[in-house]
Structure 1
Amino acid sequence: MSHPSHPVHPELRASVRWFPSFSFNRFLLGILRRLNFSRLYKARSPEGITIENVWVPGPPGAPDLRVRKYEPAQRAPGSPALLWIHGGGYILGMPEQSDTVCGRFAKELGILVIAVDYRLAPEHPFPAPLEDCYAALSWMHSHAGELKIDANRLAIGGDSAGGGLAAALAQLTRDRKQIKPVFQLLLYPMLDDRTAIRADHKGTGKYIWTPGSNVFGWTSYLAQTPGGPSAPKYAVPARTEDLTGLPPAWLGTGTLDLFYEEDVEYARRLQASGVPCELHEVPGAYHAFEVFAGDAAISRDFIARQVAALKRALTATG
């Protein structure tokens, strides 16, 4: 796939001026872990949203799982719900980093949002993170009455590695046939380990998530060298040949994102498989740009499109 090298969008140039250039490794990961992300991501409770941590059963043989509930005031009983999966390259992060995102969805759509604190690689490689996400979704489905949500209107979504896990979760639920999510919201998802062995990244991956970080992230998650002849089923969503029968999707990515080509290709494959998929490409946008330049008009538009897509999907299934 050809891809012209786009300069950073004018509205985003100030945000990248002081970005450090580095790639993750075990040493840097250890430092960031020791910094204690609970301090870096202090809980920000959006107005009108109640946030609560709940412990739910993990996968068989695994520890209980923490999930974070975002409850809007006066939510209608039987509302839809969203399972949100945070990013972090499969190696870093926690639900608290998504307080703003989850609070926004809960408040603007009047839905319950659950964010899952899945286990991280390299200590817990595939399938542990994905099975944690499945366990959280299963809990939502089986406790729908207690949670006052509609078990038939559950959406899944995530950003970066969380988007990759959401895409994998959509495939897993399709094949296990126990839960049927109605929508997948994929923000610049990390979908294809073969990107890690590409020599030419065509001007992408300069900011935030670099080719070096991608190699480390995929190696940690797969517990093997990425880009090999095969990968475990469901570990790499882009390697799944049959995409038929998956939930409708919205996929957003920037043209400077390292995942740009793999994201566009996955969206086109979904469409070719008969899965409704709206693809939104943001010219000159780097990985997670709306997080670091939230006040930019293109960031606000990117966020508004997510909310609108989720609203359309959940309204259509009501």
Structure 2
Amino acid sequence: MDGQPHPDFSLLARYVPSLPMSDAWLKVYRFLIPSPQVPLESTSSAVSIELVKDPGLTGNPSILSCVARPKKRDNEPIPTRRPAIMWIHGGGMVLENHNMDLPKMKVWVEELGVVSILIGYRLAPEHKALAAVDDTFAGRQWIVHHAVEELGLDIDRLVVAGNSAGGSVAATTMQRIHDTPLLVQPILQLLVYPMLDNRTVLQSDDSVKARIWSPKANRYGWTSYLGCKPGSTNDDDDDIPPYSVAARRTDVTGLPPLWIGVGTLDMF
């Protein structure tokens, strides 16, 4: 596989390189990424942006997240409760924050009339599994507690969604919600090129000329998150914590409908 881009790609996209991934490069990327403390400016007069902190699970730190929702216009009647998207950002388990996906969420909010809650989570390698799932599960609890009065949500129309590593965390968080008694279940899982299975990087051949996220970067992300290299003696179903690798779950009975979108060449 030579990783040649689709003919519909622009000329510039044909020359996007693979990102080198290492502890040193990780520091560089994090330095360049905008801080989650400062939300990107909204260019839409129809969308409001608000930073929020949910308290996290007992013993864990509070988590900074972001709410994007339609602005109420003057003389507009109180709208019916809106459907909501709980969005979880990507970044290979080690990078990014809610600001990276905020422009896309603004478009969804404006065009679909939904409320989007962009949930933050602690990153690997400093915080290994299950820190990310703990944080997003706590974020879901925060959404439920603030849904009606503060956010104007219809909690019965909640979608759990994410891309790349966020797709992984969304899927495992959904599994945990499903297994927790008495919780209202989301109606849909929406996963965009999700990072669902660490066993996709057992092959050490790096001949695939992938753009941006390479097999080597994929191994780095999973190793950082799980604390063991894919294919090592402690990388089996008995040693991998539940809710850390979505594809290792064997029984998906009762989980909500699932939509997955992938490209032609997908590392996951």
Note whether the superposition's TM-score is higher than 0.5: yes
Q: 1:216 aligns with which of 216, 220, 231?
A: 220
Give the aligned partner of residue 55 of structure 1. 53
Q: Is the 8 A contact 1:76 1:110 kept in 2?
A: no
Match of 1:38 in 2: 35
The residue type paired with residue 138 of structure 2 is: A
Please give the secondary structure, in 2, of the residue aligned with 1:71: strand
Question: Residues 193 and 261 of structure 2 are in contact (CA less than 8 Å); yes or no, is this contact kept in structure 1?
Answer: yes
Show structure 2 runs of 5+ residues with no match.
73-77
Contact 1:6 1:255 in 2 (8 A): no
How well do the aligned residues superpose, as a CA RMSD in angstroms? Answer: 2.1
Could you say which residue in structure 2 is the equivalent of 1:173?
177
- For 1:209-254, what per-residue CA distance to the aligned partner results, in whole angstroms no more than 9, with x for missing partners? 1001011100111112224223211110011101111111211001
Query: Which of 87, 92, 104 is the matching residue for 1:89?
Result: 92
What percentage of aligned pairs have identical amino acids?
39
Cα shift at 1:199: 4.3
**Contact 2:33-2:96 at 8 Å conserved across structures:** no
Structure 1: runs of 5 or more not aligned: 260-318
Counterparts of 1:251 and 1:22, CA distance in 2 = 24
Aligned to 2:243: 234
Give the deviation of 1:103 after TM superposition. Answer: 0.8
- 5 Å-filtered alignment, 1:39-188, equals 43-47=40-44, 48-74=46-72, 76-146=79-149, 147-177=151-181, 178-188=183-193
| One-letter amino acid of the structure 1 residue matched with residue 168 of structure 2 | G
SS at 1:54's partner residue?
strand
CA displacement, residues 90-115 of structure 1 (integer Å, 9 cap, x when unaligned)? 00001011111111121111111100
Aligned AA for 2:89?
A: H
Equivalences for 1:3-14 in 2 at 5 Å? 7-14=4-11
Q: Give the letter aligned to residue 56 of structure 1.
A: D
- The aligned counterpart of 1:304 is none
Distance in 1, matches of 2:64 and 2:18, equals 33
State whether residues 159 and 186 of structure 1, in contact with CA within 8 Å, keep that contact through their aligned partners in structure 2: yes
Counterpart contact for 1:201–1:258, Cα < 8 Å: no
Q: CA deviation at 1:208?
A: 1.0
Q: Distance in 1 between matches of 2:2 and 2:28?
A: 33
Give the Cα separation in 2 of the matches to 1:58 and 1:42.
Answer: 20
CA contact under 8 A between 2:5 and 2:14: conserved in structure 1?
A: no
Q: As a proportion of its length, which structure holds more helix?
A: 1
Q: Residues 84 and 46 (structure 1 numbering): CA distance in 2 closer, same or farther, change over 3 Å?
A: farther
CA distance in 2, matches of 1:153, 1:132: 21
**Which runs of structure 2 are paired with 1:228-307 in the superposition (5 Å)?**
228-230=235-237, 231-259=240-268
TM-score normalized by the length of structure 1: 0.75
Question: Is the CA contact (8 Å cut-off) linking 1:23 and 1:211 kept in structure 2?
Answer: no
